[in-house]
Amino acid sequence: MAKRNYNIAELRALDVAHHLPAHQDYAMMRDIGGARIIVEADGCYIQDGDGVRLLDGMAGLWCVQVGYGREELADAAREQMLQLPFYNTFFKTAAPPTIELAAKISGLLGSHFSHVFFNNSGSEAVDTVVRIARYYWQIKGQPKRSIIIGRVNGYHGSTIAGASAGGMKAMHDQGGPFVPGFEHVMQPYAFGEKRDDESLDEFAARAADAVEQRILEVGPDNVAAFIGEPVQGAGGVIIPPAGYWPRIEAICRKYGILFICDEVICGYGRLGSWFGFQHYGVTPDLVSMAKGLSSGYLPISAAGVSSEIVETLRSAGSDFVHGFTYSGHPTCAAVALKNIEIMEREDLVNRTASVSGPHLARLLRDLADHPLVGEARSLGLIGAVEIVENKATRRRFGGVEGNVGTVVRDLCIKNGLMVRAVRDSIVMSPPLVISRSEIDSLVGILRQSLDEAAPVLRERYAEGA
Ligand SMILES: Cc1ncc(COP(=O)(O)O)c(C=O)c1O
């Protein structure tokens, strides 16, 4: 198929004139003359309109598990579009791929789960699990149970409920008031929050017990659910210490509250298991998922629902008044089914657990010796590098967190690697098809960029500068 040519200068001007991109400073976007226009991609590489190729260390936005350029996915979309591009699930109707995908996902989730509710985005999947959790307690005759407990720096999306469930201060500062009934407790961020006199186990227990404390503060009879990402992604790839999740699960069970895992990033192999909760050996009641479900080729998300909750919904005797025009969109479902088929055929989940994940972890362990690196951590194919001024004391440059991540990120991009800055860390989440030599390049560019940043940052933040 012939590739389209673009007038990049014109597109950038139109971008400034008409397009408001996600999570951006619009004055800054105007001042830099518009976005970098990404025109094509293949495998683990993206290419911009100026012909610059970048290794995609973020798999798009934590989602392109099978890499770019998969004809099978395009074929699946084309075939489904020609047979039945769209139909809804409102009218006691459903399309074949929708049902097949629901059955497939239920199987991947395991026997605790029987059903799936489809949406378009991760945020909507979170809205869905929140509504189901609260409605569940209404049906059970405990309508006071409406509080959802999340965590500081948890990210659950950008809708009003998603932003309310998330613990992102910058989001809470804009566009409120948010939905009442959301609480946030400490994050299991050992690098930032473990005390020197505490063991990792003690820290894990303290972080998990913060959930119990909050349950007791607000009253167990008022709590509907706890929600958390197995590994907090957008919050900075916060990988909880062993012991944290089993303790959280036990606390949820002790007070009879629902346990929700937001698997929008961790699901579909990112941690080396189909879902993050499986890696940690716990069993939630509701699971939100998106991104890797279709490798981002088309927008689709889902909420996995336990059979006990489904039976409760069935006992309500009325409609669950919730859903979207595109819930279970047949074309998106067909692409998601094909995507899972590719992941299974290429054994991408096991490969992440046993080959590529350990390779990334080894290289990051070596990178931890770098003078600017306070910690380099990863699990499966998600990781983060913490940038510090002083390795021993973990002091940040300028004594304040958040000054320098974007400096290193910009150098990475200049050097051919797309990664993301979260405060003073660089986070990464490459396609699951990434090869060993591409992982070598990823970490090599990161090291080179840290080397280049070091003198700049030392000078900028020199005493008295
Ligand atoms: C854990 C988690 N939940 C929810 C979302 C929201 O997903 P979306 O941007 O598709 O609405 C994200 C997005 O990054 C996420 O990481």
Reduced to 3 states (helix: H, G, I; strand: E, B; else coil), residue 115 is strand
The pLDDT, as a whole number, for residue 176 is 86
DSSP 361-430: HHHHHHHTTSTTEEEEEEETTEEEEEE-SBTTTTBPGGGSTTSSHHHHHHHHHHTTEE-EEETTEEEE--
* pLDDT in the model for residue 463: 66
Nearest to 368 by CA among 443, 456, 436: 443
Question: Which DSSP letter does residue 353 get?
Answer: I
pLDDT in tens, 329-360: 999 999 999 999 999 999 999 999 999 999 99
Beta-sheet pairing, 113-119 with 301-306:
antiparallel
For 348-392, what is each residue's pLDDT tens digit?
A: 999 999 999 999 999 999 999 999 999 999 999 999 999 999 999
The alpha carbon of residue 231 and the mean position of all alpha carbons in its chain are separated, in whole angstroms, by 8
Closest C-alpha to ligand 1, atom 8: 122
Using DSSP, state whether 450 is helix, strand or coil.
Answer: helix
**Residue 464 pLDDT > 80:** no
CA dist list (Å): 282 to 103, 126, 142, 208, 334? 21, 19, 25, 14, 30
Asked whether the beta carbons of 118 and 102 are under 8 A apart, the reply is yes
Q: How many CB atoms lie within 10 A of CB 444?
A: 17
For 177: left if phi > 0, alpha if psi spans -120 to 50, otherwise beta; the answer is beta
Q: Give pLDDT, residue 432.
A: 99
Distance separating alpha carbons of residues 441 and 417, to the nearest angstrom: 9
Distance between Cα 156 and ligand 1 center (Å) = 5
423-450 per-position pLDDT tens digit: 999 999 999 999 999 999 999 999 999 9
**3-class DSSP assignment, residue 12:** helix
Q: Which atom of ligand 1 is nearest to the CA of 121?
A: 10
Please give the Cα distance from 28 to 32 (Å, whole number).
6
Instruction: Give the tens place of pLDDT for each residue, 147-166.
Output: 999 999 999 999 999 999 99
For ligand 1, which residues put their CB under 6 angstroms from it?
A: 121-123, 126, 155-158, 162, 229, 233-234, 262, 264-265, 290
Instruction: Name the residue at shortest CA distance from atom 7 of ligand 1.
Output: 122
End-to-end Cα, the chain, rounded Å: 56
Q: Whole-prediction pTM value?
A: 0.98
